[in-house]
Amino acid sequence: KNQVEQSPQSLIILEGKNCTLQCNYTVSPFSNLRWYKQDTGRGPVSLTIMTFSENTKSNGRYTATLDADTKQSSLHITASQLSDSASYICVVSAGGGATNKLIFGTGTLLAVQP
């Protein structure tokens, strides 16, 4: 069964601190993995995409990693800001073409406090 699990469920950190969110997946066949950020009351916005051959990708203060062997991904946020408070969702794409299916993770709710 295709599954994407994220941890922790929720996280509170102080402004300026770093944090790492985890995503474990059992999806086959794997196509790619994306991290989305969802602000409260808004739609999710894509942060990064990781394909099978990529290990690390950065987007500003966000750095995503992918270990295709262990089927794990992480999202590292550096020097957190209050605006980073949001839900972070890991989405794995399974299959390809017309049969492609997106498997959503359970999300991590991040709160950055002053």
Partner 1 sequence: DTEVTQTPKHLVMGMTNKKSLKCEQHMGHRAMYWYKQKAKKPPELMFVYSYEKLSINESVPSRFSPECPNSSLLNLHLHALQPEDSALYLCASSQWIGEKLFFGSGTQLSVL
Scanning 47-96, the segments in alpha helix (DSSP H) are none
Residue 15 DSSP code: T
| Strand pairing class (108-113; 10-14) | parallel
User: How many helices (H) does the chain have, and how many strands (E)?
Assistant: 0, 11
What binding mask, one character per residue, do residues 9-48 give for partner 1 by CB under 8 A, x or -? Answer: ----------------------x--x-x----xxxxxx--
Task: Report 42-81 residues binding partner 1 (CB under 8 A).
Answer: 42-46, 49
Binding residues for partner 1, rule CB under 8 A, total 26
Is 7 a binder of partner 1 (CB under 8 A)?
no
Q: Which two tokens stand for residue 70?
A: 């262990």
Is 93 a binder of partner 1 (CB under 8 A)?
yes
Determine the Cα–Cα distance for residues 8 and 78; give it in Å rounded to an integer.
17
What is the contact surface with partner 1 in residues (CB under 8 A)? 31, 34, 36, 41-46, 49, 87, 89, 91, 93, 95-98, 100-102, 104-107, 109
